[in-house]
Amino acid sequence: MEGLMAHTGARKIGRQDLLVLPTPESTQTHSVVPHSKIVEALVESLGFRRLEVMRDEYAVTDDGNRMFGVLQINEEAAGVQFAIGVRNSHDKSFSLGLTVGYRVFVCDNLAFHGDFSPVTRKHTKNFDYVEVVGGAVDKMQRHFQPMRRQIDAWRGFELPDIRAKAVIYEAFIEQRLDVPKHLARLVHQNYFEPTLDDFKPRTMWSLSNAFTSALGTLDPVPQMQYTARLAPFLASVQ
């Protein structure tokens, strides 16, 4: 699952549109790198490692100072596609950031989440963005196998019905997961009365999908915020 949210003033654009955005001058202490150069370095670094961008989308603020993007890549585990989130700013509002995972969310309200974030780097005077991005991609690639193991482990983690009910109870009644309580019934229905094949096996992965599907009924921003809390909760109840 991946998503780019633009709801607080940014507008979505294509990769080629990044090339024509204005870029302010660097200062003695702050190195300004065009958004297009960051994305170009990222795509090239992926290509060197035989990783292909299958789909990508970007958003920028009206002044062009902030850029947000999500790139889906040809790397997956059990049919789950991995994605990379990226953000860059010219106005020092946040550092260069990269994140990767099977649940990636990037938003112009500065929410930024993935399963593994290898870099958050300020644009200091001697900032070498090609080296930073290349190093980050190396770290991402090394993290693919742990993410695959996590997915495989959840797919193979069989849950007795009584344990699945207990997890839902702990999430909503004991409030161990900070999400709207009214979703409890929907999570229960998704898991115990599945209409989708992904929900049918009685596993932790199916329960994760039941939660994710219920959260998908929320507006985009709260959906993103609550989904970011899901994996740590499920990991804590295994």
Q: How many whole angstroms separate alpha carbon 217 and alpha carbon 174?
A: 22
Per-residue pLDDT band for 158 (boundaries 50, 70, 90) equals very high
Model confidence at 125: pLDDT above 90 = no
Burial (CB count within 10 angstroms: exposed 0-12, middle 13-18, buried 19+), residue 15: middle
Per-residue pLDDT band for 223 (boundaries 50, 70, 90) equals confident
Rounded mean pLDDT, 98-118:
82
Rounded mean pLDDT, 88-115:
85
Whole-angstrom distance between the N-terminal and C-terminal Cα of the chain?
22
Phi, psi dihedral angles at 213 (to 5 degrees): -65, -40
- Supply the DSSP string of 114-139, one letter for each residue: -SEEEEEE---TT--HHHHHHHHHHH
Helix 220-236, helix 204-215: angle, nearest 10 = 160
In the chain, pLDDT over 90 holds for what percent of residues? 55
Bridge partner list, 11: 60
Decide if 114 contacts 99 (C-beta within 8 A).
yes
Q: Residue 123's pLDDT is what?
A: 67
Q: How many whole angstroms separate alpha carbon 43 and alpha carbon 183?
A: 39
